[in-house]
Amino acid sequence: MTNFVLFGKPGAGKGTQAAFLKTKYNLVHISTGDLFRYNIKNETELGTLAKSFMDRGDLVPDQVTIDMLEAEVDRNPQAHGFIFDGFPRTESQAAALDVFLAIKEMNITATVALEADDDILVARLLERGKSSGRTDDQDESKIRNRFEEYNQKTAPLKKYYEGQNKFHSINGIGSIEEITERLTQLIDRL
C-alpha cells in the first residue's frame, strides 16, 4: 500500500496534483478541507462537533480532525493507498497519523513538498480568487498570513519526516504538466 502526504503552501498546487496522482496510482485522495465541508454539510457527529468550535472562533482540536480522517480511511477498505492533503499540519498530528496507520498495518511511504516562491504563489492565489469566490484568495495580506502560519506550524514537519527518511521536495513552479512529471519521476523511484 502506498500512502503519500502532500505538503505545500496555499496555491502550491496540492489539489491539482493530487487529482492526477489519485488516478495514475489508483489512490484515494483525502483532503481535510473536503472532509470538514462534508461532515459539516451532512451534520455528522464529528461535523457538528467541529462546527461548534468553528462557530466560537476556536481551532478545531486535533483529535476531531484525526477522527474524521480515520473514519474516511475506514470507509475505503479496498484502497491501494491514500494521498493525505492538508494533513498532518503539525508534528503532533503527524505522530497521531503514524500511530493510526500502524494500527491498520500501514505507514506513510513518502511526503512530498511542492516548493514555490511566495510572490508566485500570491499571484496564483489572487488569480484563483477571481474565479473561485474564496475571499481568503482575494486579499494579499490574508494570503501572506496563511503562508506565515504554514511556516510556523507545517514547515517543521520537514524535520520530522527527514528523521524517517520520508521527506522529498520538488520544484512547484512550471506548468501543471512539468510539475506532474517531476512528481511522477519521484514516486516511480520510491
Q: Would residue 14 show up in a list of annotated catalytic residues for this protein?
A: yes
Of 9, 14, 22, 124, which is the active-site residue? 14
Cell of 28: 484515494
Of 128, 144, 166, 182, which is the active-site residue? 128
Q: What does each C-alpha distance from 91 to 11, 55, 97, 103 come to in angstroms?
A: 22, 26, 10, 19
Q: Would residue 134 show up in a list of annotated catalytic residues for this protein?
A: yes
Of 37, 41, 75, 134, which is the active-site residue? 134
Of 144, 146, 153, 182, which is the active-site residue? 146
Q: Would residue 89 show up in a list of annotated catalytic residues for this protein?
A: yes
Beta-carbon contacts of 18 under 8 Å, excluding residues fewer than 6 positions away, are 6, 29, 31, 83, 85
Of 89, 142, 153, 158, which is the active-site residue? 89
Beta bridge partners of 167: 111
Reduced to 3 states, what is the DSSP secondary structure of residue 151? helix
Angstrom distance (rounded) from CA 62 to CA 46: 12
Residues annotated as catalytic (active site), given as ranges = 14, 89, 128, 134, 146
